[in-house]
A = this chain, B = another copy of it.
């Protein structure tokens, strides 16, 4: 697939560039996609969907425990002491065409597997609960070494999680991801247009039919 910038310049994926987990979280405010965090990219897609009325999906605010607030006269209240709390849910949720969508974003520098330590147990519990209520739960994983993105359905995570709890490997092999997850093709804008993939996932789930590749 050939992708061009608006100025006509050819877009070349920098697959050789590796980022550490830490580095990839740093924020680059230029307009290049390369410096964007996965969160930025998902927010970009969400904005795109909301503006075009395709889906209403928002990131939840970071949960903080507020301890001390000052109210300076004539200006906004200032929080002077607060602590980060552990979220009890995933970071993103919303609605598409009546379907409840719920997911988290994860990034790994690994080239061989997705380490399950990236997922918290309470997030697994939450996704399990959502699945029981017929919601659509998954994670979006970015393999930063390859600049490849996948939607990993909760069912795939659950299988690997249970194997881990039974003493087996603590990660999902990249080959399993390639086979059982849904790749999100990257494009210019939004860089990760994940909604069509969710729609495919919902159709396959609801109608019990699978594409030939699966």
Contact = CB atoms under 8 A, between A and B. Distances in A.
Interface of A: 50, 53, 55-56, 58, 60-64, 66, 76-85, 87-89, 93-100, 102, 126, 129-130, 132-135
Contacts of A76: 83-84
A55 B132 CA distance: 9
Nearest to A53: B132
- The DSSP consensus for interface residues of chain A is mixed
A82 B84 contact: no
A95 B89 contact: no
28 contacts: A53-B132, A55-B133, A56-B126, A56-B130, A56-B135, A60-B60, A60-B61, A61-B61, A62-B66, A64-B64, A64-B66, A64-B79, A76-B83, A76-B84, A77-B83, A77-B84, A78-B82, A78-B83, A82-B82, A93-B93, A93-B94, A94-B100, A95-B100, A95-B130, A95-B133, A96-B133, A97-B134, A100-B100
A95 B127 CA distance: 11
Contacts of A134: 95, 97-98
A97 to B, nearest CB: 6
A182 to B, nearest CB: 20
Contacts of A62: 61, 64, 66
Nearest to A55: B133
Given A53-B132, A135-B95, A78 B78 contact: no
Contact of A88 (B58, B99, B126): B58
Nearest to A88: B58
B83 A81 contact: no
Contacts of A60: 60-61
B53 A129 contact: yes
Which of A55, A60, A96, A126 is most buried by chain B, counting CB atoms within 10 A of its CB?
A60
B58 A61 contact: no
